[in-house]
Chains A and B, each alone.
Chain A
Amino acid sequence: MARLDELRGEAIREALRDCLSGVEAMPSQRDAVLAAVRGSRGASGRKLSVAFAVALALTLLAAAAAAAAWLGMRELVEREAVPLALQNDGAQVNETFTNEELAHIVAVAQENGVAVPQSLMEKLEAGEGYWEEETIMALAKAEFGPMPGRWTLEQQYWFEEAAVAIGFKDVNVKRVPGEGDLTYEQALSIAEAAIAERFGVDAAALGDETRYAVTRSYTEVEPGAFTWHFWFEPLVFEADEYVIELDRAGNVTEISGDAASQTPRGCEYILSFYEGAYGTPYDWDTALWVEFSQKIREAPDLETQVFAQGFARTDYLDESNLPQGALSRADAEAVALRAASGTGVDCAVLYDAEPNPVWKVTVTCAGADGEADEQRMIEVDAQTGEVRSQTVRTDDMNWHRLLVCEEAARQIEAEHPRHPEGLG
């Protein structure tokens, strides 16, 4: 293996070239493309499914009968967003709503009390419109929840219909159980029992919503090939992780489990778990950093995981515990932006230090050459607002470096000179 501190683009390029050397364009592929475009001429670029067309027609009829009736999210999508998307239909790839269209959708949503996610408002403010499917997804997530895989099967099916209606997808492979199918509850029960038997766990524990989030789907990817899929994703460290698939009759076709409860969680797992549960560390709040660092300190492999030692040696603080008069996160970010003439804040963490706690804020600044921006890490005294240090991030600095105590980072760099970038 190439030395890791020498891992640069060329190594990646070489590796991909080697492993993808078998990729070859074939005449048959080219013929298929040409046949497809010849066949598509004159045909509508949109495929409005019968079911969705009926739903749309019913919605429009209902709307005509009661024009003042309030819309829910689904009606908003069916009555406003999809027709606008269809109206836009043309040759454009990756079709977007114009900002005017987006403004219209948002306005109707707000008039009707439909939740408009902040992300959409930001797109609107940016003034460049937004992808059609992402707009609908954002509205759906605001109502159904942030994880589409955890929506009900009916919600998943509805969204897929909308995606087909706007031309984003060609077919809807989602299914809602009907005649001849197991019910969702039956399928789930079979899945839990199979996992319990195979891995010797308590089936009831799998239904504990404080321990597991269940991602589910029922699909018919090929005609007649129905698949139930369940992923029991642990919400707590102590829980194992299971994936199982059933056929239409409930026979287990695939089952796997991570018997991690028998293996102490290492630093990699902990980081992966937190990233999966809470998203990118750049967005974590201060309380989460306190919790995460504690878990890292308890990891059995901490000593060998250089990347994690910065987290372990940083005494993170929860901002709600700061004394009165101390700088809030927003205050500290404003100080850092001013100090570095930054254009935006990337992340911020709060940790204990002498003589006062410190907010370490990373901001993006316009690069000198106008080509690439640079990042600067600013230490701001959480008590006085004084800027204590300012460090430019160099290309070989790991992302961890932005999120750990500066002093700890320097110690680790001194202890591990083999890793010139410091934290692994």
Chain B
Amino acid sequence: MDDAQREARLVELLARYEKDVLRLCCATLRDAHLAQDAAQETFVKAYRALPRFRGESGEKTWLLCIAVNVCRDMRRGAWFRFMDRRVSLDALPEPVAAPLPEHETLTLAVMRLPRKEREAVLLRYDQGLQVREIAQALGISPSAVSQRLRSAHARLRRELEGGKAHGKA
């Protein structure tokens, strides 16, 4: 695959999946500016990786896998969990219309989930991946994905039930 072919392929990927990648990065990093950086980094890495992409997973799964790792990298760069402790929707792009209060509450609760559970929830419910695809993206077994989703549901229920929101991720 020469450079021109690679670039043409990248343009296709951008057209199809840029918004999906950006959404995932936004929800994961909880910050629109960081998310833009992460999305860019995702596509740059995808460009580098294109010659090795053999279609073992779907291309969306493959791209989201890269995005997950880029986001992890960015979060790990902070080393500490400080940012996680101040979860808010303020740093996300302004919604088209004011979200329903219950949607805000639930989205905040999702963003407060521990990283592993949050990744699984976002890939499943926001990106619409199947359990098996999530397993490919996260490099874990399908049963581990199922378990993370179950744990996430339980935790969300617990938090929304009115328990003290401790804000730790």
Q: Do A and B bind each other?
A: yes
Question: B-contacting residues of A (Cβ < 8 Å)?
Answer: 1-2, 4-5, 7-9, 11-25, 29-30, 32-34, 36-38, 40-41, 45, 90-94, 148-149, 156, 168-169, 173-174, 215, 217, 229, 231, 243, 266-269, 272, 276, 305-307, 346, 364, 371-373, 375, 395, 397-400, 424
Q: Please measure, in the bound complex, the distance between the C-alpha atom of A8 and the C-alpha atom of B35, giving whole angstroms.
A: 27
Which residues of the partner chain B approach A22 to less than 8 Å between Cβ atoms? 92-96
B26 touches A29 (CB 8 A): no
B158 touches A25 (CB 8 A): no
B125 touches A9 (CB 8 A): yes
Which residues of the partner chain B approach A372 to less than 8 Å between Cβ atoms? 131, 142-143, 146
A91 touches B49 (CB 8 A): yes
Q: List 23 A-B contacts (CB under 8 A).
A: A4-B157, A12-B125, A14-B103, A15-B102, A16-B110, A20-B23, A20-B27, A23-B22, A23-B23, A37-B48, A91-B48, A92-B52, A93-B46, A94-B66, A215-B79, A217-B79, A243-B82, A243-B85, A305-B163, A364-B143, A371-B132, A373-B142, A373-B146
Interface residue tally for chain B (C-beta within 8 Å)? 79
Inter-chain pairs besides A7-B157, A22-B93, A38-B7, 11 sampled, C-beta below 8 Å: A12-B125, A12-B156, A20-B27, A22-B95, A23-B23, A29-B18, A33-B43, A37-B47, A169-B77, A306-B161, A375-B147
Known A16-B110, A231-B80, A305-B163: A93·B22 in contact at CB below 8 Å: no
B163 touches A268 (CB 8 A): yes
Q: Please measure, in the bound complex, the distance between the C-alpha atom of A231 and the C-alpha atom of B82, giving whole angstroms.
A: 8
* CB 8 Å contact bits of B19-36 with A (1 = contact, 0 = none): 100110011000010011
Q: Please measure, in the bound complex, the distance between the C-alpha atom of A391 and the C-alpha atom of B95, giving whole angstroms.
A: 45
Which residues of the partner chain A approach B143 to less than 8 Å between Cβ atoms? 364, 372-373
Task: Among A13, A30, A149, A306, point to the contact of B18 (Cβ < 8 A).
Answer: A30
Query: What DSSP secondary structure best describes chain B's contact surface?
Result: helix
Known A149-B80, A364-B143, A373-B142: A307·B158 in contact at CB below 8 Å: yes
Q: Which of B84-136 contact A (CB under 8 A)?
A: 85, 89, 92-97, 99-100, 102-107, 110, 121-122, 124-126, 131-132
Which residues of the partner chain B approach A45 to less than 8 Å between Cβ atoms? 48
Q: Please measure, in the bound complex, the distance between the C-alpha atom of A215 and the C-alpha atom of B102, giving whole angstroms.
A: 35
B44 touches A16 (CB 8 A): no
Cβ-closest chain B residue relative to A96: B139
Q: Please measure, in the bound complex, the distance between the C-alpha atom of A36 and the C-alpha atom of B36, giving whole angstroms.
A: 14
B97 touches A23 (CB 8 A): no
B126 touches A18 (CB 8 A): no
B7 touches A12 (CB 8 A): no
A91 touches B156 (CB 8 A): no
Q: Please measure, in the bound complex, the distance between the C-alpha atom of A32 and the C-alpha atom of B42, giving whole angstroms.
A: 12
B73 at the binding interface (Cβ < 8 Å): yes
Which residues of the partner chain A approach B23 to less than 8 Å between Cβ atoms? 20, 23
Cβ-closest chain A residue relative to B100: A18
B65 touches A269 (CB 8 A): no
**Centre residue among A22, A45, A307 by max chain B CB count within 10 A:** A22
A399 touches B48 (CB 8 A): no
Cβ-closest chain B residue relative to A30: B14
Which residues of the partner chain B approach A7 to less than 8 Å between Cβ atoms? 106, 153, 156-157, 160
Task: Among A14, A33, A267, point to the contact of B40 (Cβ < 8 A).
Answer: A33
A18 touches B82 (CB 8 A): no
Task: Among A15, A92, A276, A364, point to the contact of B103 (Cβ < 8 A).
Answer: A15
A399 touches B150 (CB 8 A): yes
B51 at the binding interface (Cβ < 8 Å): yes
Task: Among A11, A40, A156, point to the contact of B44 (Cβ < 8 A).
Answer: A40
Q: Please measure, in the bound complex, the distance between the C-alpha atom of A77 and the C-alpha atom of B126, giving whole angstroms.
A: 39
B69 touches A93 (CB 8 A): yes
- Cβ distance B68 to chain A, nearest Cβ, rounded Å: 9
Which residues of the partner chain A approach B26 to less than 8 Å between Cβ atoms? 20, 23
- Cβ distance B146 to chain A, nearest Cβ, rounded Å: 5
**Centre residue among A12, A21, A398 by max chain B CB count within 10 A:** A12
**Centre residue among B22, B32, B106, B131 by max chain A CB count within 10 A:** B106
B166 touches A93 (CB 8 A): no
B80 touches A19 (CB 8 A): no
Cβ-closest chain B residue relative to A45: B48
Cβ-closest chain B residue relative to A254: B82
A371 touches B85 (CB 8 A): no
Cβ-closest chain B residue relative to A36: B44
Which residues of the partner chain B approach A231 to less than 8 Å between Cβ atoms? 80-82
Q: Please measure, in the bound complex, the distance between the C-alpha atom of A371 and the C-alpha atom of B135, giving whole angstroms.
A: 12
Which residues of the partner chain A approach B27 to less than 8 Å between Cβ atoms? 16, 20
Known A19-B107, A92-B49: A276·B168 in contact at CB below 8 Å: yes
Q: Please measure, in the bound complex, the distance between the C-alpha atom of A173 and the C-alpha atom of B6, giving whole angstroms.
A: 32
**Centre residue among A29, A33, A174 by max chain B CB count within 10 A:** A33
Q: Please measure, in the bound complex, the distance between the C-alpha atom of A156 and the C-alpha atom of B78, giving whole angstroms.
A: 11
B3 at the binding interface (Cβ < 8 Å): yes
